[in-house]
Amino acid sequence: MAERLNLLWLQSGGCGGCSMSLLNAEGPALYDALELAGIDLLWHPSLSQASGEEFLALLHAVVDGSQRLDILCLEGAVMHGPGGSGRFHMLAGSGRPLRDWLADLAARARYTVAVGSCAAFGGVSAAGGNASEASGLQYQGARAGALLPATWNSPGGLPVLNVAGCPVHPGWVTETLAQLAHGELTPDALDELARPRSYTDHLVHHGCPRNEFYEFKASAEKPSDQGCMMEHMGCLGTQARADCNLRDWNGGGSCLKGGYPCINCTAPGFEEPGRTFTETRKIGGIPVGLPSDMPKAWFVALASLSKAATPERLRRNAVSDHIEVRPSPRRSK
């Protein structure tokens, strides 16, 4: 029988939304997923009963090596302020900043996982001038090197695994943990920002329910419209690396299916786009956020042709909150 792995989950600067999302795991549910992967949960701030001295004793046991730790998960940004002291987030009862505990625990854990964009890159917790001096575990925004150095690898031979998202899809977390448990997560399985490629080899655009509108550049003009939200409404789905529209949330949803544009929340810096999230930045009337791997000249040429060929059905439905013109059968000559 394979050795079961021990997982410790801590939270720092953030909203706790990734844990809330994780509780919605389904097919399998969270505890079933952990059991199937052979993972035992040592402690989670919302799911465990141990607190106070019992919890601190667990941390000391991990640091001194008497308790094996296979997977350390952090949710929320690392808090370095004020003035680099880390005292904005002291671990209650220990007299030490959580930042210092994280460095010691990461040195012991076989693998370290940043759950959510705050833990990965600083995220929303680092926005607005970053008065709290927040960072990710191994990244400050898109730059490697934060609490842990850019060249740091865990005892298991991997960098911090950045399961980025705001919040993360529960399947991204359970799948990453299962890959670790089965020895399937190698450096080749990570992208350039150490995110698992199991979900970042896709674009949010893949599977988008508005793709027919996108193909003809039939664009939404206000939030309730059904059309493509790239041209006017700030949608970054053609650039965002995630499988949100292929791996449904909560049984059948996604931001785009709910009528909200993709804000590229798996990427560093998404939290400060320099505009409102529902506004497309343009230069000379051309959206700046073009598809990630398409030359601008080609896009402009194809967009012009597409607009010229837009069926009246799509043109009208794009700026309506319901289907005004239904598909009609092809008329025979």
Residue type, 280: T
- Write down the mean pLDDT value for the chain: 93
Q: Taking residues 135-152, what's their average pLDDT? A: 98
Using pLDDT thresholds of 50, 70 and 90, give the confidence band for residue 18.
very high
Q: Taking residues 228-247, what's their average pLDDT? A: 94
Chain segment 35-85, per-residue pLDDT in tens: 999 999 999 999 999 989 999 999 999 999 999 999 999 999 999 999 999
Tell me if residue 305 falls in helix, strand or coil: helix
Which pLDDT score is estimated for 332? 64
Q: Are 10 and 72 in contact (CB under 8 A)?
A: yes
Tell me if residue 112 falls in helix, strand or coil: strand
pLDDT at 1 over 60: no
Domains of the chain, earliest start first: 5-200 (3.40.50.700), 202-322 (4.10.480.10)
d(CA 196, CA 292): 19
d(CA 44, CA 49): 9
Residue type, 161: L
pTM for the model:
0.93
Residues in the chain: 333
Q: Are 107 and 153 in contact (CB under 8 A)?
A: no
Closest C-alpha among 11, 16, 49, 44 to residue 30: 44
pLDDT at 303 over 80: no
H or E element at residue 170? helix 170-181
Which pLDDT score is estimated for 98? 98
Chain segment 95-132, per-residue pLDDT in tens: 999 999 999 999 999 999 999 999 999 999 999 999 99
Q: Taking residues 25-36, what's their average pLDDT? A: 94
Which pLDDT score is estimated for 293? 72
Residue 241 pairs in a beta bridge with 203
* Backbone region of residue 320 per phi and psi (left: phi > 0; alpha: psi in -120 to 50; beta: other values): beta
**Both structure tokens of 277:** 């999230």
Stronger pLDDT, 95 or 300, i.e. the higher one: 95
| 272: phi then psi, degrees, rounded to nearest 5 | -130, 80
pLDDT at 264 over 80: yes
